[in-house]
A and B are shown apart, each in its own frame.
Chain A
Amino acid sequence: MATTESNIEAGRLVQPGVPSPQPGEDFAVPTGVKPPRKSVWAVFREMPLLVKLGTIWLMIVLLSAIYAQLDVRVFNGSLPLADPNLQLNGFNAATGEFGTGEPLESPSWAHPLGTDALARDSFARAVHGSYVSVTVAIVSVVCGVVVGGLLGSLVGFVRGKTETVMMAMIDVLLAFPALVLLLALISIFEVRDLFVISFVIGLLSIPAYTRVSRANSLAISNREFVMAAQAIGTKRWTILRREIIPNVLPTLLAYAMVAAATVIVVEGSLSFLGLSVQLPQSSWGNMINQARRDIKANFGQVLYPSVIMTVTVLALNQVGDFFMRRSAHRGSSL
């Protein structure tokens, strides 16, 4: 148990913002057969209080992002809390005049997080900003889990030359300081599209996912049930699909949550440097950056998006850790 936990710690080297050269080298390896299925509700009840709260927070963030997109794409900004840029908090087209909204207001019932320097509702902006963080997290996780997960499972199972060559290449990619490479790429090619940025971040995180899934795949390949399947002549692809991947996936997804936390910080840093999404699309990072100008007049405008981002990262770490412990524990108890 103790060793397992220390291994989890080693896996956490990827935190924060700095991918380690060897994530997942000794990542928690579940050595189990097919995991017993539990209902989502049962898993939720299993969680410690803080993890529960974290899960709820993540749900809120996810729903905010969906809500924001519904508002923008389906309802054309007619929902409450519509994007302040679209609902024209400041400017009223009907009267042809600017509203009476004051810039840099303190929180009130009308504006739960106050208003920014342009008299826009900061709460609505934070809700719409969650879309950026959620998109970056999901796109990069999908990239990582699909490509990295498949590659890792494959080479861990197939072994041989393929594995050696593959892992050597992965080593090379992991040797790059990701943030520096990302900055160089985005600035040289002047990328400003959210999906392209997310995709590049995802691409850069594939090696780490590959390592994690390969370590797991390696361990599972040595288990009796896989050996047995091979012995009776089951097709390799079938074994991969039926035995390896389902067993690799839980750990990989747990890792993905922790990695998503890193990715959100990376996007936040880019936004903060003004190298991410185009305005007026708000993101938590660019809200912080813009509010910094008036930090003396209204500290809250810096504080709120900072707290939101930090809590989201904390929640992802907590929930990710929980699932990691869970899959590791399950593995060792078998």
Chain B
Amino acid sequence: MRQRRVVTALAIPLVFAFVAASCGSDDDSSGDTDTGDDTTEETTGTDDDTDTEPPATVPDTDTTVAEETSEAVYGGTITIGLESEATGLRPWEDSCSSPCYHIMRSVYDPLMEQISDGGYGPFLAESLESNEDFTVWTMTLRPDVTFHNGTPLTAQTIVDMFPLQQAGAAGSSAIDAANLTGVAAIDDLTVEYTLSAPTVAFPATLAGAPVGFPFDPAAATADPAGYSTNPIGTGPFTMVSRDIDNETIVERNEDYWYTTDDGDQLPYLDSISFRPIPDEGTRLDALLSGTTNAMMSLRQGTIRDAREASDIELIEFQGNNTGGGMFNTAVPPYDDVRVRSGLLHMNDQERVIEALGGSGISLPTTQFFSADSVWWTQEAADAYKTFDFEAGLAFLQDYVADPARSDGKAAGEPIDVELSCPPDPTLIAAMQVLEQVWTGSGVINVSLTQFDQATHINNAVSDIHQAHCWRWGGEGDPSASINPFVAPSDVSVANFPNYDDPEMQGWAQEASATDDFERRKELYGNIMTRINEQSILWYSGGTAVMVAHEPGIRGFNSWTLPDGTLGVGIAPEAQARWFQVFFAE
């Protein structure tokens, strides 16, 4: 019982991450505490396998308007349309999803930062190294960094932050997920993190909220609630005003520590105004009419409309994140592989993507990874059941005619299927495409339900879901999204399909305890293949994201870490780093 609770706490942030990335965005309560950021490889550049790996997780920027390098210019105010308001700005407490990261990253600095090949490099840290078995990580901090209020950042700061993070809603679960048990100051600038289990993906934990953004623990203890509207970080901008649901203004931190190799003290912009504009069309209109200078979107339909618009430039990205849905294999009729396979064959991915508004933008997927990812395997792709109405019908009719069918109905009776998605217009459209074909089989009674995002997630967590829209993947290490998904369902809440396969569990465990890339790829490939063979989930297409901006703004994909390494651009969730963005002359 006790164990179950622990794993629940561990899994829930992941759950939120999946859906946050995915179904919506407009949900304030979602927080990608760590998914999509975890990676094991090339953590500090000390691992051997770094070089052996093809750098194929490079953000797919093919469609990106080429950013010509131009001389950076200081000054200017930029207004940015975000897809929703941040729930709060306390890293240790508030769940933070993509739009929230735009604001948090302007006020806070991460200890580590994701680089262009998907790995992690030191940012506020100067280095991060682990022992042999990845259970002790030693971090050296950059010297002479101060918070906005003048307090210096030291190893003791990181230690003092820890109790707050342990008590925080977002922090406590992220700490559990990272197996983090202790933080100690070795000297003024050296911090030692102790983990309870080998965790090769630990650097990702330090690359964002809730654990990786240093805040002033003294100020946070003095006024925990006020920190949300008046956050104090070490970041490139300081908070000026926060008018929730309307406008958040930050201005240049004159004492920012980061000076580029060219001698430019960052940031370039004088100030930023963040505007939450939940409606996709309105947000694009606001950019086109000049009300805002830039915007973000995670919606294919918006990218389609933005591509047709003139006078704006797009930075697009499509990575290892895919939409689709899953079956709860613990309840009839989904406990029968014939039903699942039949429904899967009746998923016309092209049509679904068209309904999502993503034709020509998003590609059909067959696994958690996009086809150009290093983790993608042909075996898994071959095992996926593509659209084939006749084949699907055969599976379903076989089940319907079976006198011993699992749903207890008489042979010949139609199968009852309940399909549920969050109430986003694009998802609703996609859901109705599935419904058309399933109903068209003549042997299925489909009912569609929609619940707001929180309830939708809750239904999956409490295992009262049936056929359930979902989203998987992330830019980082596969362990983040796959391991909890295949862990035993009685301890892992994130095993939403409730499909227990000891062999898959064994593969997942082996994959998190080794850093041999080829072996890990094989193991995760096996899992993806097994999932497809067993028809546990269906896929639609990869998630496309974008930042669109008026011409003349630069620096989205060319920002660098302090050591000169190229950063990850806007990947994976349209999270721009505004500290190196500038208006070109």
In whole Å, how far is B553's beta carbon from the nearest beta carbon of chain A? 24
> Quick check: is A80 within 8 A (CB to CB) of the other chain?
no
> Quick check: is A304 within 8 A (CB to CB) of the other chain?
no
A103, B436: Cβ atoms closer than 8 Å: no
Chain B residues near A296: list those with CB within 8 A. 281, 305
B450, A85: Cβ atoms closer than 8 Å: no
CA distance A103 to B426 in the complex (A): 14
26 contacts between A and B (CB under 8 A): A85-B435, A90-B433, A91-B440, A93-B441, A93-B442, A98-B351, A117-B429, A118-B429, A118-B436, A190-B455, A192-B449, A274-B423, A274-B450, A278-B447, A278-B448, A278-B449, A278-B450, A279-B432, A280-B432, A289-B425, A290-B428, A292-B425, A293-B301, A293-B357, A293-B425, A296-B281
In whole Å, how far is B448's beta carbon from the nearest beta carbon of chain A? 5
> Quick check: is B354 within 8 A (CB to CB) of the other chain?
yes
Selected from A93, A96, A117, A280, the residue in CB contact (under 8 A) with B355 is A117
CA distance A280 to B450 in the complex (A): 11
> Quick check: is B7 within 8 A (CB to CB) of the other chain?
no
> Quick check: is A50 within 8 A (CB to CB) of the other chain?
no
> Quick check: is B34 within 8 A (CB to CB) of the other chain?
no
CA distance A292 to B413 in the complex (A): 39
A93, B440: Cβ atoms closer than 8 Å: yes
B389, A280: Cβ atoms closer than 8 Å: no
CA distance A293 to B280 in the complex (A): 8
Selected from A92, A93, A290, A295, the residue in CB contact (under 8 A) with B429 is A290
CA distance A333 to B95 in the complex (A): 70
> Quick check: is A224 within 8 A (CB to CB) of the other chain?
no
Task: For the A-B complex with A93-B440, A96-B389 known, give 14 more contacts whose Cβ atoms are closer than 8 Å.
Answer: A85-B432, A91-B436, A92-B440, A93-B389, A96-B390, A103-B354, A117-B355, A117-B429, A118-B355, A192-B449, A274-B423, A278-B447, A290-B429, A296-B281
Residue with the greatest number of chain A CB neighbours at <10 A, chosen from B423, B426, B429, B451: B429
B425, A290: Cβ atoms closer than 8 Å: yes
The 0/1 profile, CB within 8 Å of B marked 1, for residues 273-284 of chain A is 010001110000
> Quick check: is B12 within 8 A (CB to CB) of the other chain?
no
A96 and chain B: residue at smallest CB distance: B389
Label chain A's interface by main secondary structure: loop
In whole Å, how far is B5's beta carbon from the nearest beta carbon of chain A? 26
Within 8 A of B (CB), among A287-325: 289-290, 292-293, 295-296
In whole Å, how far is B573's beta carbon from the nearest beta carbon of chain A? 21
> Quick check: is A181 within 8 A (CB to CB) of the other chain?
no
Residue with the greatest number of chain A CB neighbours at <10 A, chosen from B348, B389, B423, B455: B389
Within 8 A of A (CB), among B250-302: 280-281, 301
CA distance A59 to B206 in the complex (A): 66
B432, A118: Cβ atoms closer than 8 Å: yes
Selected from A92, A93, A279, A292, the residue in CB contact (under 8 A) with B431 is A279
CA distance A93 to B442 in the complex (A): 8
> Quick check: is B240 within 8 A (CB to CB) of the other chain?
no
B439, A279: Cβ atoms closer than 8 Å: no
The 0/1 profile, CB within 8 Å of B marked 1, for residues 82-96 of chain A is 000110101111001
In whole Å, how far is B361's beta carbon from the nearest beta carbon of chain A? 15
CA distance A88 to B442 in the complex (A): 11
CA distance A330 to B450 in the complex (A): 51
> Quick check: is B164 within 8 A (CB to CB) of the other chain?
no
A295 and B348 in contact (CB under 8 A), knowing A91-B437, A289-B425? no
B389, A90: Cβ atoms closer than 8 Å: no
Chain A residues near B451: list those with CB within 8 A. 190
Within 8 A of A (CB), among B406-457: 423, 425-426, 428-429, 431-433, 435-437, 439-442, 447-451, 455
How many pairs of residues, A versus B, come closer than 8 Å at their CB atoms?
65
CA distance A6 to B144 in the complex (A): 78
Chain A residues near B440: list those with CB within 8 A. 88, 91-93
Within 8 A of A (CB), among B353-388: 354-355, 357
In whole Å, how far is B112's beta carbon from the nearest beta carbon of chain A? 38
Chain A residues near B449: list those with CB within 8 A. 192, 278
Chain A residues near B429: list those with CB within 8 A. 117-118, 290
Chain B residues near A91: list those with CB within 8 A. 436-437, 440
A293 and chain B: residue at smallest CB distance: B425
Chain B residues near A97: list those with CB within 8 A. 389
Chain B residues near A93: list those with CB within 8 A. 389, 440-442
CA distance A292 to B428 in the complex (A): 13
The 0/1 profile, CB within 8 Å of A marked 1, for residues 379-403 of chain B is 0000000000110010000000000
The 0/1 profile, CB within 8 Å of B marked 1, for residues 62-87 of chain A is 00000000000000000000000110
Selected from A96, A117, A274, A280, the residue in CB contact (under 8 A) with B435 is A280
A118, B448: Cβ atoms closer than 8 Å: no
CA distance A157 to B450 in the complex (A): 48
Chain B residues near A274: list those with CB within 8 A. 423, 450
In whole Å, how far is A283's beta carbon from the nearest beta carbon of chain B? 13
CA distance A91 to B350 in the complex (A): 13
Chain B residues near A279: list those with CB within 8 A. 428, 431-432, 448, 450
- 9 smallest CB-CB distances across A and B, nearest first, come from A96-B389, A93-B440, A91-B436, A274-B423, A91-B440, A293-B425, A279-B448, A88-B440, A91-B437
Chain B residues near A85: list those with CB within 8 A. 432, 435-436, 439
Chain B residues near A90: list those with CB within 8 A. 351, 433, 436
Within 8 A of B (CB), among A86-117: 86, 88, 90-93, 96-98, 103, 117
Chain A residues near B431: list those with CB within 8 A. 279
A98 and chain B: residue at smallest CB distance: B351
Residue with the greatest number of chain A CB neighbours at <10 A, chosen from B355, B393, B442: B355
A98, B348: Cβ atoms closer than 8 Å: yes
In whole Å, how far is A188's beta carbon from the nearest beta carbon of chain B? 12
Chain A residues near B450: list those with CB within 8 A. 274, 278-279
CA distance A103 to B447 in the complex (A): 23
In whole Å, how far is A35's beta carbon from the nearest beta carbon of chain B? 48
CA distance A212 to B435 in the complex (A): 46
Chain A residues near B351: list those with CB within 8 A. 90, 98
Residue with the greatest number of chain A CB neighbours at <10 A, chosen from B351, B393, B440, B441: B440
CA distance A274 to B451 in the complex (A): 10
B281, A118: Cβ atoms closer than 8 Å: no
CA distance A97 to B392 in the complex (A): 13
CA distance A162 to B559 in the complex (A): 77
Selected from B357, B433, B439, the residue in CB contact (under 8 A) with A86 is B439
In whole Å, how far is A276's beta carbon from the nearest beta carbon of chain B? 11
In whole Å, how far is A193's beta carbon from the nearest beta carbon of chain B? 11
CA distance A92 to B435 in the complex (A): 13
B426, A293: Cβ atoms closer than 8 Å: yes
CA distance A54 to B441 in the complex (A): 42
Chain B residues near A118: list those with CB within 8 A. 355, 429, 432-433, 436
Selected from B281, B348, B435, B439, the residue in CB contact (under 8 A) with A293 is B281
Chain A residues near B281: list those with CB within 8 A. 292-293, 295-296
In whole Å, how far is B190's beta carbon from the nearest beta carbon of chain A? 51
In whole Å, how far is B510's beta carbon from the nearest beta carbon of chain A? 42
B439, A88: Cβ atoms closer than 8 Å: yes
Residue with the greatest number of chain A CB neighbours at <10 A, chosen from B389, B390, B428, B436: B436
CA distance A91 to B357 in the complex (A): 18
